[in-house]
């Protein structure tokens, strides 16, 4: 696993870490448990749209957000996912080892994953922070990193690993999935945002007695074969109707993508970003050009998956 590092002991050298965004290639939603969370059966795929964090020891515990998707809505206080992840790592380890190097970290975030679009940008920040924090203190047991990741958010644990994986529970119980080759996606973002809790509440209204959440065998077969045409016939997102009921223009964007030749329009997470599956890089370019001119689309971003999980890229 890329986040479990065995480097030198505690270091004051800044470290740069990269972590991917994601798409839910399939999202099956079951009933809500006593804790209010729905039982999920999802297939995550990490995408080559990355967040890059620089962790600088000996700072003033500041957070600086820059990059293409720097946004005033990205918190720069203790509620920031990267800061939460570091604080959880400190709490998990401070009774047994020296973690002082983590206490006053400056965190510089280069945001290249769209904000609040269902692509896991904040979760990628948390995964990168955990990976970088582990490096700074000379390595951390994988089980501790996993527990810290889940405490921040259900998909953070996946973004530590990357690749393609089935997620059960809230998405935190992971099983790697064999995937051949690369899948080409065009991610169509929206100028508007959707509330994840509101979308799940709407799902409950529309589907009061859902079937148990499962991952169809054909989805796994398509991934193993590297076959986008088969994947297009098998993958789905059970939150699609709920998202469209909250943002009807999503249906128009999906239809525009189909008309443009997309193999599959697929809501990413709880939306509002829609991933359009393409046959290859040339097809993805054609789709991106057409979708960029579509009403309701803020940006059409070409990317591929699977991608690596959180990993150190530089020792500054």
pLDDT tens string 260-301: 999 999 999 998 999 999 999 999 999 999 999 999 999 999
Residue 249 lies in a domain: yes
Residue 234 lies in a domain: no
pLDDT on residue 8 = 44
Looking at the structure of the chain, the number of domains it has is 2
pLDDT on residue 12 = 80
With a cut of 60, say whether residue 7 has pLDDT above it. no
99 & 127 share domain: yes
52 & 172 share domain: yes
CA distance 80 to 125: 9
64 & 151 share domain: yes
pLDDT on residue 74 = 83
pLDDT on residue 115 = 84
Residue 232 lies in a domain: no
197 & 295 share domain: yes
With a cut of 60, say whether residue 93 has pLDDT above it. yes
CATH value at residue 298: 3.30.70.890
With a cut of 60, say whether residue 150 has pLDDT above it. yes
197 in a known ligand binding site: no
Catalytic site residue 84? Answer: no
251 & 116 share domain: no
121 in a known ligand binding site: yes
309 in a known ligand binding site: no
Marked catalytic residue, from 84, 110, 111, 155: 155
Q: Give the model confidence (pLDDT) of 11-47 as tens digits.
A: 688 999 999 999 999 999 999 888 888 999 999 999 9
CATH value at residue 156: 3.30.230.10
95 & 191 share domain: no
With a cut of 90, say whether residue 118 has pLDDT above it. no
Residue 312 lies in a domain: no
Q: DSSP letters along 204-219, please?
A: HHH-SSPPPP---HHH
Residue 261 lies in a domain: yes
254 in a known ligand binding site: no
291 & 148 share domain: no
Residue 80 lies in a domain: yes
Residue 314 lies in a domain: no
114 in a known ligand binding site: yes
Q: Give the model confidence (pLDDT) of 171-228 as tens digits.
A: 999 999 999 999 999 999 998 889 999 999 999 999 999 999 999 999 999 999 999 9
Lowest mean pLDDT: which of 25-29, 77-81, 137-141, 175-179?
A: 77-81
202 & 148 share domain: no
pLDDT on residue 11 = 60
Range of the domain at 271: 183-212+239-305
Q: How many CA atoms lie within 13 A of 193 on its CB side?
A: 9
68 & 23 share domain: yes
Name the pTM for this structure: 0.91
Q: In this structure, is the dihedral angle defined by the CA atoms of residues 234, 191, 113 and 128, taken in order, positive or negative? A: negative
Structure tokens at 287: 């789709």
pLDDT on residue 9 = 55
Q: Give the model confidence (pLDDT) of 234-270 as tens digits.
A: 999 999 999 999 999 999 999 999 999 999 999 999 9
120 in a known ligand binding site: yes
Marked catalytic residue, from 22, 84, 111, 238: 22
CA distance 306 to 20: 9
Domain boundary (176, 196, 220) is at 176
Domain boundary (160, 176, 192) is at 176
With a cut of 60, say whether residue 5 has pLDDT above it. no
Residue 151 lies in a domain: yes
CA distance 179 to 290: 28
Binned at pLDDT 50, 70 and 90, residue 316 comes out as low
24 & 49 share domain: yes
Catalytic site residue 71? Answer: no
167 & 193 share domain: no
40 & 138 share domain: yes
CA distance 273 to 113: 11
163 in a known ligand binding site: no
138 in a known ligand binding site: no
């Amino acid at each position: 696993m890329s986040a479990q590092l065995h480097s030198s002991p505690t270091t004051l050298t800044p470290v740069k870490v990269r972590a991917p965004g994601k798409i839910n290639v399939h999202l099956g939603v079951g009933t809500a448990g006593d804790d209010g969370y729905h039982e999920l059966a999802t297939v995550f795929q990490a995408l080559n749209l990355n967040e890059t964090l620089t962790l600088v020891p000996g700072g003033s515990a500041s957070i600086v957000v820059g990059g293409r998707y720097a946004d005033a809505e990205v918190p720069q206080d203790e509620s920031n996912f990267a800061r939460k992840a570091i604080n959880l790592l400190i709490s998990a380890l401070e009774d047994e080892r020296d973690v002082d190097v983590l206490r006053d970290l400056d965190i510089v975030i280069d945001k290249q994953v769209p904000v609040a679009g269902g692509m896991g940008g904040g979760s990628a920040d948390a995964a990168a922070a955990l990976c970088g924090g582990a490096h700074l203190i000379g390595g951390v047991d994988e089980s501790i990193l996993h527990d810290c990741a889940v405490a921040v958010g259900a998909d953070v644990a996946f973004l530590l690993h990357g690749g393609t994986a089935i997620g059960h529970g809230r998405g935190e119980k992971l099983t790697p999935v064999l995937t051949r080759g690369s899948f080409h996606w065009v991610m169509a973002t929206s100028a508007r945002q959707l509330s994840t809790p509101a979308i799940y509440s709407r799902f409950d209204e529309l589907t009061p007695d859902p079937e148990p959440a499962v991952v169809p065998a054909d989805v796994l077969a398509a991934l193993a074969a590297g076959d986008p045409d088969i994947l297009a016939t098998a993958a789905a997102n059970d939150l699609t109707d709920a998202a469209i009921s909250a943002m009807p223009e999503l249906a128009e964007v999906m239809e525009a993508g189909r008309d443009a030749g997309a193999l599959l329009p697929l809501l990413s997470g709880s939306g509002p970003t829609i991933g359009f599956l393409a046959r290859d890089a040339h097809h993805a370019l054609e789709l991106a050009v057409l979708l960029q001119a579509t009403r309701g689309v803020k940006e059409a971003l070409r990317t591929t998956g699977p991608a690596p999980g959180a990993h150190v890229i530089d020792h500054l």
